[in-house]
Chain A
Amino acid sequence: MASVGKQTKLNFTATRPRPVIKKEAPSFHRPITTDQTKTVEQVEAELNILRQFDLNLKYGPCLGMSRLERWERAQRFGLSPPVEVRNIVMSNHGNTLYSECLWFGERGLV
């Protein structure tokens, strides 16, 4: 049924143009490869090794310390932590995805 009478069109446009801010996805949702020679699978494999190191109870709890600190503490206690963990962390220096434990940045845990 067609509308009877004139319908005034309500103007809902914004009073000023709002800038569009593109937010970066948090770093733990996707792996960041600074090294272009590595494939995504290789990066995932490295991160998996690091996560297994975090979850290994033999070296103590992982929260509250960086991975390197925890590795060095395990070394000092004579627990022979895997050397590849240290190599991976040192080669990706400054990247919190590698240097901090897997719960780092999770809200509600720390």
Chain B
Amino acid sequence: MAAALVRPSCTVTNDSSKFITPPIRRDGIQYNQIYYTRLHEMKDVSMKSAQRKWGSDTVFRNLKDLEPGLACVVIGTLFKEMSLRPSTIKQISDNQRLLPYPPKGKLSSSTDKIFLEDYSQRVILSNLSDNTALTTGMIVAVKGVQNADGNFEVSDYCLPGMPLKNDPLPSLNNDRYVAIVSGLMVGSDWSDQWAIQQLVDYLTGQLGGVHDNDMLSNIVKVIIAGNSIGSVQSNKSSDKVKYSAKNYCAHSIQSVEELDVTLSQLSSSVPVALMPGTYDPANKQLPQQPLHHCMFPKSAKYDNFKSVTNPYSCTIEGHKFIGTCGENIESMSCCTIGMDSLELLELTLMSSHVAPTAPDILCCYPFSNADPFIMDDCPHVYFAGNQPKFQSKLVTGDDGQKVLLICVPSFNSTHSLALINLRTLACTPLTFATTATRLIENKDTQNNIETENVLMTETISDIDDEDY
């Protein structure tokens, strides 16, 4: 009998303490504080980026010091006025029932107006050629001239760029893998329990042949990026509700118990980090707080099991990871036209901010002292879960930063997860094909897995398991 393979231990530090939020003050919620701190914290970075692009002799001005005819650069927060955006006042006047769901569908159209705001004023930006790639909340430096109308005619703009501080990639002697899976949707009407069980068995090394053992025994962390608990779709007619896309019932206790059993099997063998997602029973605002360990009595017994915040930031073997469960990308796609998930992820990286649309479109905690979504140091791996298909790209910055961008697909619809090799910083999708798979007819998801920029694709089928 072959000796049991031992999974190597690895150093994992949780850097998400800035995402743990205290209770909200009783005297009300104010969001203007976040915008002030965001502008202040990112002003230096934007200035450096603008000087790099347009020369160190560029003239910077505040909005209150603008003179007509003077070509200068202004740094401020963007505000995009979208006519398609649902208005709460309109809803109240129509006497409709309001539910706190985020608006779905495209909000951006060709009639959008863009404003630039700084500490004291706002100004309309005209002549902005490409406003489809900009959203509210981004800090930009715009170069142009104030014209006679009082509008600012833009000749060029510049985002803060990738965060400058970048620790060098540690070199590893052996392959170390991290698996990221999202959208398990345990307990929902359309979840495939067989595929989830296959996933757990495969990651714990009970499935697969001898050729898989090398890879499987070197998986040092599994990150579950949200939407692990599925909801049951109710049949209530909800034609009055405008904000929600589907009408969901409360989560059943049974789904949580099923997830707990699944996670306990996984945690017995490999370190697991569970992030709450949009449809999980956690707070709706970003950053979502960790799911309480009393919900998972079986899994919480293992040291391997960690319940973490929604934007999750950690360092695994010296590699910096940061990622969300996809809400930031979804809200960005509502506010932009013609960009797919990977391009949006790159756009957030180039703005040095994980969720620029918070708190305008994306529900967010009213921070006042600091904006924790600002990326201070450059991550090595930046992921977003619950995307329609797998995509990955290695981006290099001007200062030699290397970031691996990953769009993790929703396991529920694609039965695949992302596997990252820390030694080579390459990412591959792993797909589980089961004979009991029902074809989920959803026009948003594709059945083919995106294979661009990927070294290899593995497909694991249950028919080939002879050892099982």
Contacts and interface: CB of A to CB of B under 8 A. Distances in A.
A67 to B, nearest CB: 12
A100 to B, nearest CB: 8
A84 interface: no
A64 B31 CA distance: 8
A61 B33 contact: yes
B119 interface: yes
A65 B119 contact: no
A61 B37 contact: no
Interface residues of B, number: 15
B127 interface: no
Interface string B299-322: 000000000000000000000000
B119 A69 contact: no
B27 A65 contact: no
Interface string B353-393: 00000000000001011000000000000000000000000
Contact of B30 (A57, A64, A105): A64
A61 B28 CA distance: 14
Contacts of B211: none
B369 A63 contact: no
Given A60-B36, A64-B28, A73 B368 contact: yes
Nearest to B119: A57
B40 A63 contact: no
B25 interface: yes
Given A64-B366, A64-B368, A65-B368, A73 B27 contact: no
A21 interface: no
B368 A69 contact: yes
B369 A61 contact: no
A77 interface: yes
A91 to B, nearest CB: 23
Given A60-B37, A64-B366, A69-B368, A104 B32 contact: no
A30 interface: no
A61 B119 CA distance: 9
Interface residues of A, number: 15
Nearest to A64: B30
A96 to B, nearest CB: 10
B40 A77 contact: yes
A60 B29 CA distance: 16
A61 B120 CA distance: 10
A60 B43 CA distance: 14
B30 A73 contact: no
Contacts of B120: 57
Nearest to A73: B369
Contacts of B25: 64
Given A58-B119, A104-B27, A110-B27, A64 B33 contact: yes
Contacts of B40: 60, 77
A108 to B, nearest CB: 11
Contacts of B366: 64
Nearest to B31: A64
A63 B119 contact: no
A105 B27 CA distance: 8
Contacts of A104: 27
Interface in A29-79: 57-58, 60-61, 63-65, 69, 73, 77
B329 to A, nearest CB: 28
A52 B123 CA distance: 27
Contact of A61 (B27, B29, B36): B36
B224 to A, nearest CB: 34
Contacts of A65: 30, 33, 368
A65 B366 CA distance: 10
Nearest to B366: A64
A36 B454 CA distance: 76
A105 B32 CA distance: 19
Interface string A77-102: 10000000000000000000000100
15 contacts: A57-B120, A60-B32, A60-B33, A60-B37, A61-B30, A63-B30, A64-B28, A65-B30, A65-B368, A77-B40, A105-B27, A109-B28, A110-B27, A110-B28, A110-B30
> Closest 10 CB pairs between A and B?
A64-B30, A110-B28, A60-B36, A61-B32, A65-B368, A63-B30, A110-B27, A77-B40, A64-B33, A73-B369
Interface of A: 57-58, 60-61, 63-65, 69, 73, 77, 100, 104-105, 109-110
Given A69-B368, A110-B30, 11 more contacts: A57-B120, A60-B119, A61-B32, A63-B30, A64-B25, A64-B28, A65-B368, A73-B37, A100-B27, A104-B27, A110-B27
